[in-house]
Amino acid sequence: MARAKEKDSGSGANVGYEDELWRMADKLRGSMDAAEYKHVVLGLIFLKYISDAFEEKHAALEAEKDQGADPEDPDEYRAENIFWVPPKARWSRIKVQARQATIGQLIDDAMVEIERDNPALKDVLPKDYGRPALDKTRLGQLIDLISNIKVGDVAARSKDVLGRIYEYFLSQFASAEKKKGGEFYTPRCVVKLLVEMLEPYRGRVYDPCCGSAGMFVQSVEFIRAHASGNGNGGKAKGNISIYGQESNYTTWRLAKMNLAIRGIDGKIEHGDTFHEDRFPDLKADFILANPPFNMSDWGGDRLRGDKRWQYGVPPAGNANFAWVQHIVYHLAPNGTAGIVLANGSMSSNQLGESEIRKALVKADLVDCMVALPGQLFYSTQIPACLWFLARDRKNHKFRDRRGEVLFIDARKLGFMADRTHRELTNADIAKIAGMYHLWRGEKNVPTEAVDGLIVYKDIPGFCKAAKLEEIEKHGFVLTPGHYVGAAPQESDDEPFEQKMQRLVSQWQNQQNEAAKIDAAIAANLKELGYGE
């Protein structure tokens, strides 16, 4: 297969054939809705992954049978964090029967057996391949397609081949599903920016609306990428404890599979975060979240006296500040949080939201605000921003930042990855995060990422550290554009007389060109019998 061109983007380099694999799989979808087809495809890819890993280990044990190895002992696999795959569920058996009319039921049976023998996957895998509405010919073709890629052997796992394919497919399904996809998929570059700013090296990491678990995947990737400088030998295991909750059952299953394919342990619960908080006593060191924008049907009327509303009762018609206060409530004494919200959260005066925002600022919880570029999200054109909150800003890990908020206007950053979607580059992410780290008083921030700066300074049009008094003058509106000002214009040292002569000459040339064009048009019309 042709290798896709890699680019410096926050999405990370492709493994080379995700787009081609997607196009081939999408052709097999036919008239099936993307939301339904998603689970058909991702379930099969997951099954292929655990089968690849299993079969590689099975072959190694076969070669060691004379030394006492038992290829059919499940403990041999579990000892190396490889899922045990029962004989009837192995991909080799599924592949040879891919064109049989009973293939759907065969896959369902395989999923049931895998869940039975691997408690971590209980109630997670899709088991509706046998339904009459699913075209079994197309299903067989999809199995043949997936059979041609290795996603779970040692070489593929070292390159995170499945992780890349899985993530790419999630993004493509989000694009195809529009709003429905956007309920769970956060663009990789946005997640990476959150993680790079918060730096969750160790501790409890929580996402109250975890979707397909992208925040956790990126947190672990961050630790692994920075492991050499932290004395942990490149390993992320044991540094963080993961807690997540997701209200959509099918999305919760995706999250469980997404973590399982990467060997990440986490407590991911299913349920409504507002009405069935599965972690009522959790105090997290880091919270990362992308709640549904402007959620109106969250049942706020039934929670008017909730203990989480310490800064004001959120309006029943918009959950933005319910999410913010839920997150503040679950922050540890030294905890920090990064939240993706609609831009309206920074300036809305409706239904008491301005009073809640004012209370949060006065409580010294708001650390940094980032305005994002448009067109980053697959599901909505609503402009978005990032809120960064910190429980302790007086001088715990960083400098004393009380009475001050950093504003970053990143709306002009990024590039158009395609006709409709924008992405932040790795350089963009490094610049935004680096400026935040400088402002917090951190050391060893790469100077090339922040235009050569070694200490923080305001940059007109990009960033401004504003005092509480200035924020109060703006009515506690937190839109970065109100604070950073305009970028400096290029200097114009050209003398007035010289500039006028140049502009007049330019105008005359344009007039002459226009006259020539008019004459040519008139001549053409005359030849065609029109005009004089």
Q: Please state the domain extents for the chain.
A: 18-176, 179-484
Distance of CA 513 to the CA centre of its chain: 51
* CA distance linking residue 384 with residue 374, whole number of Å: 7
- Cβ pair 291, 339 in contact under 8 A: yes
DSSP states along 222-242:
HHHHTGGGTTSTT--TTTEEE
* CA distance linking residue 123 with residue 103, whole number of Å: 21
The β-bridge relationship of strands 422-423 and 463-467 is unpaired
pLDDT, one tens digit per residue, over 28-82 is 787 777 777 877 888 898 899 889 889 999 999 999 999 989 999 999 998 888 8
Q: Is 222's pLDDT higher than 70?
A: yes
In the chain, count H helices and then E strands: 18, 11
Count the Cβ atoms, other than its own, within 10 Å of residue 504.
10
* CA distance linking residue 3 with residue 433, whole number of Å: 31
Q: Is 233's pLDDT higher than 90?
A: no
More confident residue, 181 or 258: 258
What residues does 390 pair with on adjacent strands? 336
Q: Three-state SS for 463?
A: strand
Say what the pLDDT of residue 427 is: 95
CATH of region 18-176: 1.20.1260.30
Longest distance between any two alpha carbons in the chain, whole Å: 102
Q: Residue 194 is which amino acid? A: L
Angle at the Cα of 173 (from 267 to 292), degrees rounded to 5?
A: 55
> For the residues 104-109, what does the mean pLDDT come to?
96
Say what the pLDDT of residue 150 is: 78
At 387, give phi and psi (nearest 5°).
-105, 130
Q: In whole angstroms, how large is the CA radius of gyration of the chain?
A: 28
Q: Three-state SS for 245?
A: strand
- Shared fold status for 18-176 and 179-484: no
CATH of region 179-484: 3.40.50.150
* CA distance linking residue 290 with residue 387, whole number of Å: 10
Count the Cβ atoms, other than its own, within 10 Å of residue 128.
15
* CA distance linking residue 95 with residue 104, whole number of Å: 12
Under DSSP, the state recorded for 467 is: E
Half-sphere exposure of 325 (CA within 13 A, CB side): 25
| Residues above pLDDT 70, as percent of the chain | 88
Q: Is 231's pLDDT higher than 50?
A: no
Say what the pLDDT of residue 372 is: 96
* CA distance linking residue 117 with residue 86, whole number of Å: 8
Q: How far apart are the first and last CA of the chain?
A: 62
pLDDT grade for 12, boundaries at 50, 70 and 90: very low
Angle at the Cα of 453 (from 452 to 457), degrees rounded to 5?
A: 145
Q: Is 287's pLDDT higher than 70?
A: yes
Q: Is 187's pLDDT higher than 50?
A: yes
pLDDT, one tens digit per residue, over 452-478 is 999 999 999 999 999 999 999 999 999
Say what the pLDDT of residue 230 is: 46
The encoded tokens of residue 274 equal 């507002």
Q: Is 199's pLDDT higher than 80?
A: yes
The least confident of 97-101, 149-153, 473-477 is: 149-153
What residues does 211 pair with on adjacent strands? none
Nearest to 368 by CA among 406, 410, 328, 408: 406
Residue where the block lists tokens 């090296």: 201
What residues does 338 pair with on adjacent strands? 288, 388
* CA distance linking residue 124 with residue 120, whole number of Å: 9
pLDDT grade for 417, boundaries at 50, 70 and 90: confident
The pTM for the full model equals 0.78
> For the residues 505-528, what does the mean pLDDT come to?
79
